[in-house]
Amino acid sequence: MILIIDDAVSKNLQDEYEAIVTDKNFNWFLAQKTVREEDAGYAEDPNEMIVPFMYHTIIKRGEINSSLWDLTSKILSQVEMSSSLKIKSLINVRLNLQFANGHPDKHNGIHVDGWDDDNLTALYYINDSDGDTHFFDEDKNVIKRVSPKKGRFVVFDNQQLHASQSPINYDKRIIINWNMTGTYEV
């Protein structure tokens, strides 16, 4: 089940966060591929485009890795207070930035964010953009698409096949990717 939570984060916090991560002095790091062939659940697909992207790790294996954590935790706190999401622990939290190089019929690599079967994945869209998140069934058929909307938080089981799509009409798509343990209801 996929839970979509809109407008749980205050407009001021949304704007402050976007301003920080789009500042010319913010530290981004380059990854050559959005998904690697050895990643969990990777499934080759003819509609796949493998493209470079930028990332910034906030939490890695449960350890804080960035001074941005204090502000990031406020986003999670506001979402928890206004939804059914209840977080037990955070495994990884990472910013992902994709630039406009998309194709309307293509998506990035299909994968899962899985370490253990009972974890959750969440996406928080930092900016308005195109470049939907595609969700797939076991046969790689698209079962749902979620469009980026500033302030949108999407939660799903970490074993759910999914893929991002690079933006076409906007210059960038920025998200926070959360891997965690917890519960939620749709």
Distance in angstroms (rounded) separating the CA atoms of residues 39 and 31? 14
The tens digit of pLDDT for each residue in 109-168 reads 888 887 666 799 999 999 999 999 999 999 989 999 999 999 999 999 999 999 999 999
Question: What Å distances lie between residue 39 and 23, 90, 99, 109, 167, CA to CA?
Answer: 30, 20, 22, 10, 23
DSSP state of 12: H
CB 152 within 8 A of CB 175: no
CB atoms within 10 A of CB 58: 22
Show the tokens assigned to 163.
């893929």
Which region among 21-25, 46-50, 63-67, 80-84 has the lowest average model confidence (pLDDT)? 46-50
Q: CA 160, CA 143: separation in Å to the nearest integer?
A: 11
**pLDDT of the residue at 51:** 79
Nearest to 143 by CA among 115, 163, 124, 119: 163
Tell me the pTM: 0.92
Rg of the Cα atoms in the chain: 15
Which DSSP string corresponds to 100-136?
Answer: S---TT-B--BB---SSTTEEEEEEE-S----PEEEE
**What homologous superfamily does CATH list for 3-183?**
q2cbj1_9rhob like domain (2.60.120.620)
pLDDT at 25 over 80: yes
Which band of pLDDT confidence, cut at 50, 70 and 90, is reported for residue 40?
very low
More confident residue, 73 or 37: 73
Assess contact for 1 and 154: CB atoms under 8 A: no
Q: With bands split at pLDDT 50, 70 and 90, how would you rate the model's confidence at 33?
A: low
pLDDT score of 124? 98
Compute φ and ψ for 27, nearest 5 degrees. -85, 115
